[in-house]
Amino acid sequence: MFGVLAPVESLYLHVPFCASKCSYCAFFSHQPEGEIVDRYVSALVKELEMVSGELQLRTVFFGGGTPSILSMHHWEKILVAVGALGVDEVNEWTVECNPATLSKDKAMLLKEGGVTRVSMGVQSMDPDLLVRLGRVHSRDMVYKSYDILRDAGFERVNLDLMFAIPGQSMKVWGDTLGEVIAMKPDHLSCYEVIYEQDTPLYEKMNAGEFDVKEDLACDMFEELVRLAEAEGYHQYEVANFARHYGVETFEIPDEACRHNVNYWCGGDYHGLGPSATGYVSGRRTTNVRNTTAYCDAIESDQRAFDEVEELTGLKRAGEIAAFGLRMNRGWPFERFNQVTGFDLREQWRRVMIDLVDRGLGVMEPGRFRLTPKGLRFADSSGAEFLV
Ligand code: SF4
């Protein structure tokens, strides 16, 4: 099954610039100073040309960093380059944005350039927590930018939130959820705060400036699932909730992020830009985590790989099992077999029985999925499939 050279349908492009660094963030990003932004945009366009022969795109995702921090001039160049790939078949093109870096003109430019979906990082609607997280935007900017997106004609908008933030009470979390849901986004992504090494938040935790409250985090997650479902958002992955406008029964709601569904289902994708990871035909590549080094490599007609890993079929199948089980529908056995060439019931029978015994998994006719408790601990449940 692995090694078959089919066109790559998904493309991730990393924009490594942010106005300032949020206190919890471990993504690769830095301030857009000097000539580096010009160099980066030219290099990204060139890297795109390097892989263009392998692409037949269905989904495109610009993440970061803060893609919306790029100027109109830079976006014009990028939109032309992506458009030149022939994006007629692209049914989802997402750009992440920060509420502080979006203007009416930029939103119109993205829309007219073919972008179909915007994912906006809100994180919280509480002014004190926004400061604590180091966010550069205010709650008013969230409302303003959301209106700009809708006025520009974006029909698919995701809002990102965080919970279990130090100092966040259940009431504050409930208020943020209520306010955001009242805006009627099509999709919600809600992540528990992670304490990543080398971040200011991690240092503060280590210094004992606050306690990590596991029980409160669990209660917040339960409240999220309850409220989102009550308001018509269908949980389709641990942290992701989407509207479904069709009437037919479904496994994945209409407004789900198709690009991410491709990740979770083990699909191939190219990753461009500094620090971006790609996976194509059994080979995982990671670009160098340094924008100058990235530009140097691409300008010298080289790929900017920092790491290349050839995965065995079984190792990749284990990863695909773990990723796919993050989704509420779990893994249908037949589909898993088609994607990986392995049979879940043979290879991971004991693991699945153990998860069922611990109340974390459910064996259904034709599929295995995690229970709500298993989803809450999807990372550790999924880790048992890794080989
Ligand atoms: S805006 Fe996003 S990528 Fe940039 S520092 Fe904050 S969390 Fe990280």
The predicted pLDDT at position 268 comes to 96
Q: Is 98 in the pocket of ligand 1 (CB under 6 A)?
A: yes
Taking the C-alpha atoms of residue 316 and residue 284, their distance in angstroms, rounded to an integer, is 10
State residue 246's pLDDT score: 82
- Average pLDDT across the chain, whole number: 95
Closest approach atom of ligand 1 to CA 64: 3
Rounded to the nearest angstrom, the distance between the alpha carbon of 22 and the centre of ligand 1 is 5
Answer yes or no: is the C-beta of 65 below 6 A from any ligand 1 atom: yes
Query: What is the rounded average pLDDT of the residues 40-52?
Result: 97
Q: What is the DSSP string of 225-289?
A: HHHHHHTTPEEEETTEEE----SS--SS-TTS-HHHHHHHTT--BEEESTT-EEEETTEEEEE-S
Q: pLDDT tens digit string along 292-331?
A: 999 999 999 999 999 999 999 999 999 999 999 999 999 9
Confidence tier at 32 by pLDDT (50, 70, 90): very high
Give 257's contacts (C-beta < 8 A, 6+ positions apart).
92, 94, 117, 119, 158, 187, 189, 240, 242
pLDDT reading at 59 higher than 50: yes
CA angle 279, 283, 284 (to 5 degrees): 50
How far apart are the C-alpha atoms of 344 and 346, rounded to whole Å?
5
The residue whose CA has the least distance to atom 6 of ligand 1 is 22
Nearest CA owner, ligand 1 atom 7:
25
Quote the pLDDT of residue 1: 45
For residue 135, which atom of ligand 1 is closest to its CA? 6
Q: Where in the chain is the domain with CATH 3.20.20.70?
A: 8-264
Q: Residue 286 to residues 32, 64, 278, 346, 375: CA-CA distances in angstroms?
A: 22, 15, 6, 32, 28
Give the position, in ligand 1's atom list, of the atom nearest the Cα of 21: 5
Separation CA 221–CA 239 (nearest Å): 9
pLDDT of 2 over the 80 cut: no
Confidence of residue 347 (pLDDT cuts 50, 70, 90): very high
Tens of pLDDT, residues 157-213: 999 999 999 999 999 999 999 999 999 999 999 999 999 998 999 999 999 999 999
Q: Report which DSSP code applies to 198.
A: T
User: Quick one: residue 234, left, alpha or beta (phi over 0 = left, psi -120 to 50 = alpha)?
Assistant: beta
Which residues, at least 6 apart from 377, have a Cβ–Cβ distance to it below 8 Å? 360
Measured in Å, residue 98 CA sits from the centre of ligand 1 at: 9
Q: What is the mean pLDDT of residues 270-285?
A: 96
% residues pLDDT > 90 (the chain): 93
Ligand 1 atom 8, closest CA: 25
Q: Which CATH architecture has domain 8-264?
A: Alpha-Beta Barrel (3.20)
Which pTM was predicted? 0.96
Asked if residue 3 has pLDDT above 50, the reply is no
Residue 212: CB atoms within 10 A of its CB come to 11
